[in-house]
């Protein structure tokens, strides 16, 4: 057996199998909208505040509201304690998440305002930006922000030559053969529109097309869970808090 080829996943999952997902709505009563989302032991929490007047006033856009994301890892979310405070990584991921979410939000209805989306990773086992986006989409819907569609995100990996769905940290660190490539992708839930795609590693154009197909299929499962928890929450609360 060639031992540099990834034939079986380290945690026993099928190649196109996501880790066990879970989500909960309304976890932070003070926020206008909130949610958690997990892929296995990667756990994200989202809190949405707004739309509210943006200060200082000169930052306001008189034509539409703006979205401001703040993604970070909590210090204890990773094995090597993460130094508190913003980093280049967290700032980049925050901007990517803003770009991914903005196209679906009805911001034209809220000139001069800001929607703050706080995203914290409680426990990190790779694909944290995807979990954060999924939590953010649920929290924005919970906050009642007008949305053209939900947003669903997943990571696709290429380990040596094998494509896999929902990359864990152990897989991200795979070094055999061609090593690991990690592609975080975010879709509009009800169309094939890609809202964000980040590629870390190497892949051929054909491989990327295949990866996007896999990602699209996997995000349908993410979307189903997002809709399920939002519906259950509405049924439980009768639409209010």
Alpha carbon 111 to its chain centroid, in Å, reads 26
Contact between 124 and ligand CDP by CB under 6 A: the answer reads: yes
32 versus 125: smaller Cβ distance to ligand CDP: 125
User: In angstroms, what is the minimal distance from the CB of 155 to ligand CDP?
Assistant: 6
When binding is defined by CB under 6 A, the residue of 126, 133, 151, 195 that contacts ligand CDP is: 126
Which H/E stretch holds residue 63? Answer: none
Q: How many CB atoms lie within 10 A of CB 138?
A: 29
Contact between 129 and ligand CDP by CB under 6 A: the answer reads: yes
Which H/E stretch holds residue 216? Answer: helix 205-237
- DSSP H helical segments within 143-195, as ranges? 169-172
32 versus 72: smaller Cβ distance to ligand CDP: 72
54 versus 131: smaller Cβ distance to ligand CDP: 131
| Contact between 134 and 119 (Cβ < 8 Å) | no
When binding is defined by CB under 6 A, the residue of 103, 169, 197, 210 that contacts ligand CDP is: 169
Contact between 78 and ligand CDP by CB under 6 A: the answer reads: yes
78 versus 208: smaller Cβ distance to ligand CDP: 78
Measure Cα distances from 188 to 58, 88, 102, 230 in Å. Answer: 32, 27, 11, 17
Contact between 68 and ligand CDP by CB under 6 A: the answer reads: no
Longest dimension (CA), the chain: 65
When binding is defined by CB under 6 A, the residue of 82, 118, 142, 223 that contacts ligand CDP is: 82
| Contact between 119 and 46 (Cβ < 8 Å) | yes
Identify residues 188-227 at the interface with ligand CDP (CB under 6 A): none
Residues binding ligand CDP: number (CB under 6 A):
13
112 phi-psi bin (left φ>0, alpha ψ -120 to 50, beta other): left
Q: Please tell me whether the peptide bond between 51 and the residue prior to it is cis, using omega within 30 degrees of 0.
A: yes
User: In angstroms, what is the minimal distance from the CB of 172 to ligand CDP?
Assistant: 6
Q: How many CB atoms lie within 10 A of CB 60?
A: 17
- Which segment (6-14, 44-52, 125-133, 220-228) binds ligand CDP by CB under 6 A? 125-133
Taking CB atoms, the residue at the shortest distance from ligand CDP is 128
What whole-number distance in Å separates Cα of residue 216 and Cα of residue 209? 11
Contact between 38 and ligand CDP by CB under 6 A: the answer reads: no
78 versus 197: smaller Cβ distance to ligand CDP: 78
Catalog residues that contact ligand CDP under the rule CB under 6 A.
73, 78, 82, 89, 124-129, 169, 172, 184
């Amino acid at each position: 057996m060639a031992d540099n080829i990834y034939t079986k996943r380290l945690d026993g999952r099928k190649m196109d199998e996501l880790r066990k997902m879970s989500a909960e709505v309304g976890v932070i009563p003070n926020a206008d909208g909130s949610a958690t989302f997990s892929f296995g032991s990667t756990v994200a929490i989202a809190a949405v505040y707004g739309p509210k007047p943006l200060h200082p006033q000169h930052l306001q856009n008189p034509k539409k509201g703006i979205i401001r994301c703040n993604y970070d890892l909590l210090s204890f979310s990773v094995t090597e304690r993460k130094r508190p405070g913003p980093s280049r990584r967290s700032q980049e991921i925050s901007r990517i998440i803003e770009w991914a979410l903005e196209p679906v939000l009805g911001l034209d209805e809220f000139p001069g305002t800001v929607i703050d989306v706080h995203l914290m990773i409680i426990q990190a086992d790779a694909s944290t930006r995807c979990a954060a986006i999924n939590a953010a989409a649920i929290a924005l819907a919970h906050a009642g922000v007008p949305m053209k569609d939900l947003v669903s995100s997943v990571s696709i990996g290429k380990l040596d030559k094998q494509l896999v769905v929902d990359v864990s940290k152990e897989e991200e660190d795979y070094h055999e053969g061609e090593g690991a490539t990690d592609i975080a992708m975010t879709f509009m839930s009800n169309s094939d529109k890609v809202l964000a795609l980040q590629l870390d590693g190497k892949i051929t154009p054909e491989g990327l097309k295949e990866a996007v197909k896999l990602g699209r299929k996997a995000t349908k499962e993410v979307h189903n869970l997002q809709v399920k928890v939002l519906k259950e929450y509405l049924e439980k609360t009768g639409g209010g808090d």
